[in-house]
Structure 1
């Protein structure tokens, strides 16, 4: 189980945001650190909750606790807590597609309401991410797989101050270029070939964009992220937030 052990420094940042601490009102949780490791085991292996090893506790109890934490937004708070040392000299934006397992389909309201759509790869979800100059995740948005990357760009970059934004041709949109220019942000985005006027961009700086591709590779080492098995976007977002917390605090 060494692969799922949290370091003391990671746990120190996470522990104060867990539910059921001895200082909280109501019932105290049993071994929050073991519970986090149980969720990480599910994330790393991609296994169904029923296959959770017994040393982590009863699988249905762990799952119910996970859903309680999802509803309370605990994993987002944990991600914010460990993500306190970001480098915003520049930021990078990109999207990645993940296949949706059949166990991840069938939520109430239909798949589209859970950021699931049908694209060339079948039923998919797109993770649109913003990472900092060190290649660590700042924010992300979930989208149905067939949606264009630019749809969720505005809320993704909102309230984030950076000096330059690196992105591929998918982000060569007039509204985005204008918004970046109004904020005195350098757009390191190559122009689409069908533009009548080809604008210049910093080709050397653009090479740094590999950092966001590297981040997606790290994130997809967690099989529960590489293939989505969560029916609801809230559960999938929580799983991403926890995995990103571990990656960012290494």
Structure 2
């Protein structure tokens, strides 16, 4: 068997997701016989950052691949794939953070920057992903990121230091490892040693931004950029 080309799924990685994709026997629509070629084409665009027009012919006609990518995005396929892969999170602690992504000129109509708000597990794997405009504050999204999780500790930076977030963390039965915001009148002690582990979320952002379609937003439509982000997250879970 020939080795997968650069960016493509290995047989082991393909086996982990193939049954999660549309087109299985008995389902309406086209057969899944070319799903692997299609997914590898999408991965090529994600990793290279190239325009859809430049998609190599081995993956099919670019307009057809792009339309299918959009159809799967609207149907929530990419979201379901990454949700299925998140089956055994390292929930000793969860780290929260955000990162800004600059828009390419062709995507500037969607805003000059987009913020990725993320929760990762103790092994630095993405658990929850939310997109907002770049100027949006971090704290209001903490409940969305923590919903359904059951960590022993929640690590976050000063931007997440509020009574509401600390109460939310306590309701989860977890300890809040959050440095105090300078505006807080009464300081609250935090575990400085445990806080060092928050670098897992920073490393996760670095790995996600190895995919050039994540490092720079080329997509005008939020659903397209979010789908690429979900696919990149799925790749981290299959490694």
TM-score (norm 2): 0.94
Match of 2:37 among 27, 30, 34: 34
Match for residue 88 of structure 1? 91
Cα deviation, residue 131, structure 1: 0.3
For 1:177-217, what per-residue CA distance to the aligned partner results, in whole angstroms no more than 9, with x for missing partners? Answer: 12212332100000012322111101000000111100000
Where does the alignment leave 5 or more consecutive residues of structure 2 unmatched? Answer: none
Provide the rounded CA distance (Å) in 2 between the counterparts of 1:59 and 1:208: 42
Residue 147 of structure 1 aligns to a residue in which SS? coil
Provide the rounded CA distance (Å) in 2 between the counterparts of 1:39 and 1:177: 40
- Does structure 2 retain, via aligned residues, the 8 Å contact 1:83–1:249? no
Match for residue 27 of structure 2? 24
Provide the rounded CA distance (Å) in 1 between the counterparts of 2:7 and 2:131: 26
Moved more, 225-234 or 22-31: 22-31
Residues 25, 175 of structure 1: alpha-carbon distance in 2 compared, 3 angstrom cutoff: same
Match for residue 82 of structure 2? 79
Of structures 1 and 2, the one with the larger relative CO (CA 8 A, separation 6+) is 1
CA RMSD across the alignment: 1.4
Where does the alignment leave 5 or more consecutive residues of structure 1 unmatched? Answer: 117-122
Residue 36 of structure 2 aligns to a residue in which SS? helix
Cα deviation, residue 63, structure 1: 0.4
Match for residue 146 of structure 1? 135
What stretches of structure 1 move > 3 A for 4+ residues in a row? none
TM-score (norm 1): 0.90
Count matched residues: 236
- Does structure 2 retain, via aligned residues, the 8 Å contact 1:10–1:82? no
Cα deviation, residue 140, structure 1: 0.8
Q: Does residue 242 of the first structure (1) align with residue 231 of the second (2)?
A: yes
Match for residue 144 of structure 2? 155
- Does structure 1 retain, via aligned residues, the 8 Å contact 2:16–2:238? no
TM alignment of 1:204-215, pairs within 5 A? 204-215=193-204
Provide the rounded CA distance (Å) in 2 between the counterparts of 1:63 and 1:183: 41
Match for residue 50 of structure 2? 47
